[in-house]
Amino acid sequence: MKNHHRWMRGILVAGTMALLLSCGGGGGGSSAGSSSLGGTAASASTGSGSDASGGTGTGSTGATDGTSGTGTGTAGSTDGTSTAGNGSGDGSGVGSGGTGVSTADATGIGSVGGIGSVILNGVRYNTDAASFSLEDTTELQIGMSVRIAGKIDSEFTAATAQQVESAAELRGAVSTIDVAKGSFVVMGTMVTIDNATVWGDATGLAQAVDGNVVQVWGLPSAPGTLRATRVDLRPASVEPLVTGAVKSLDRIAGTFMIGQLTVRYATASFSGGIDEATLMDGRIVRVRGSTAPALGIFNAAKVQGWYAVPTLNAAAVQLAGVVTDYGGLGSFKVLGTSIDASNALVTGGLPSSVGNGVKVEIDGFVSSNGVLVAKKLRIRNIPGVGGPVDFTLIGAIGGYQSPSDFKVQGRSVNAGSPGTAFENGTVADLANGRRVTVVGNSVVNGVLIAQRVVFLQP
């Protein structure tokens, strides 16, 4: 009987220890190649975070090949906040990170929706330990296209960035401006705008002038077309740049086309994961030159691979872009990537409204055949209808002059409108050093027009 009791006690102790280890033991657990994403990913970790409401802990992340490895999980927000809702009413609130979340290797591609860490496609990526690679700008701004590599939880609500890349898509002289249709042409590429296009130093397309040089960040859509996410009318650099899908590749002549522009690449250098041998029709590339095109011919100095979308089975991907090749929710493309959203949670509009030209955000996992299987699909803009827009700045107020003139994260804010809502304080509480979350639906002349200001705990 005593042996029986010892045997039972031993089982209880072993079971308790196993449970503690599987839960991270309050911050010290690990897993090796375990799947916590419903069988879709081969890595998991107990995250380390710094939210004021939770403890911290460091876990061990299993590698994607099922072997054990080490690493930290998704870090929580360092400002003590838990979320900064985006106010769109579509259920896609901005996550700020947290503690103890399971994570998977992830890639996010889209345009910057907020600064204070980096908000991308509705998710706030903690950037405390991230490396930044920026071209065509000295600092990341709202509306700039970006690729983030890091970790994200299985619900796509909390993330940590390990690497942040950003570069402009288009730079050159404007032509064929159509204010009514919201479009213009740069170097043979049709640029379209929507209500989420950020204007860095203008109030809108009406201020663009034929022949003036602009710099555009955007999302390639149909061949020869770019949906602008940010436009600067007076770029610091005037070296021409064009981005788009390769077509009519001629290896003998050393040329291909982007939109209506013929690119000569015979003497160009290659980078960004491609070379001359892997160049092919349909591949999205950035092409840089030293002189403007002449007679529709552009001499390339550099050909760069555009932000790479992962193809590894079970990779977690956030993707923002414009729908092309639509054949139903189960078969369409975004940024050249095949999407299956037949079982996705669709927000921001009716599933029936998804089609070619609609701007969407996709959260999902890559299948074994390279298709991105969407878990969530957020409709962001329907041509002729529009869509929800929200930009966010999180941080301490600086350079305060008045409610309509202050900065957060060094970015200008106007919260002086009578319609601006204030939470946890009033307009009289605006002052240097006060920590706030500012949410607005437009950036005009580089100024975020605030709809809501939330005062945060010191």
336-342 mean pLDDT: 97
Cα 97 to Cα 77: distance, rounded to the nearest angstrom = 6
236-240, 368-372, 416-420: segment of lowest average pLDDT: 236-240
Q: Is the pLDDT of residue 126 over 60?
A: yes
Report DSSP state, residue 233: S
Q: What is the pLDDT of residues 128-154, one digit of tens each?
A: 999 999 999 999 999 999 999 999 999
204-231 mean pLDDT: 95
Sign of the Cα pseudo-torsion (403, 406, 408, 411, in order): positive
As a whole number of Å, the CA-based R_g of the chain is 24
170-305: CATH superfamily: Copper binding periplasmic protein CusF (2.40.50.320)
Q: Is the pLDDT of residue 27 over 50?
A: no
Domain boundaries, the chain: 170-305, 316-381, 391-455
DSSP readout, 236-287?
S----EEEEE-EEEETTTTEEEETTEEEE-TT-EEESS--TTT--TT-EEEE
Backbone φ and ψ for 381, nearest 5 degrees, come out as -160, 130
CB-hemisphere CA count at 13 Å for 168? 22
pTM: 0.79
Report the CATH fold assignment for 316-381.
OB fold (Dihydrolipoamide Acetyltransferase, E2P) (2.40.50)
* pLDDT at 76 (0 to 100): 36
Confidence band of 6 (pLDDT split at 50, 70, 90): very low
CB-hemisphere CA count at 13 Å for 347? 15
Alpha-carbon 145 to chain mean position: 7
In this structure, the chain runs to a length of: 458
* pLDDT at 103 (0 to 100): 61
391-455: CATH number: 2.40.50
* pLDDT at 425 (0 to 100): 97
More confident residue, 225 or 77: 225
* pLDDT at 237 (0 to 100): 84
Bridge partners, 132 (sequence order): 164
66-84 mean pLDDT: 33
Average pLDDT, the chain: 83
Confidence band of 163 (pLDDT split at 50, 70, 90): very high
Q: How far is CA 25 from CA 16, 36, 56, in A?
A: 11, 17, 11
Report DSSP state, residue 391: E
Burial of 37 (0-12, 13-18, 19+ CB in 10 A): buried
Bridge partners, 172 (sequence order): 214
87-101, 191-205, 250-264, 346-360: segment of lowest average pLDDT: 87-101
Q: Is the pLDDT of residue 87 over 80?
A: no
Percent of the chain with pLDDT over 90: 75
363-385 mean pLDDT: 96
Whether the CB-CB separation of 276 and 284 falls below 8 Å is answered with no
Q: Is the pLDDT of residue 288 over 60?
A: yes
375-404 mean pLDDT: 96
Cα 155 to Cα 95: distance, rounded to the nearest angstrom = 10
Cα 31 to Cα 17: distance, rounded to the nearest angstrom = 14
Q: Is the pLDDT of residue 347 over 80?
A: yes
Cα 213 to Cα 33: distance, rounded to the nearest angstrom = 51
- The number of helix segments (H) and strand segments (E) in the chain equals 1, 34
225-243 mean pLDDT: 93
Query: Which of 42, 53, 47, 41 is closest to 78 using CA atoms?
Result: 53
* pLDDT at 100 (0 to 100): 36
Q: What is the pLDDT of residues 30-68, one digit of tens each?
A: 333 333 333 333 333 333 333 333 333 333 333 333 333
Q: Is the pLDDT of residue 85 over 80?
A: no
Q: Is the pLDDT of residue 405 over 60?
A: yes
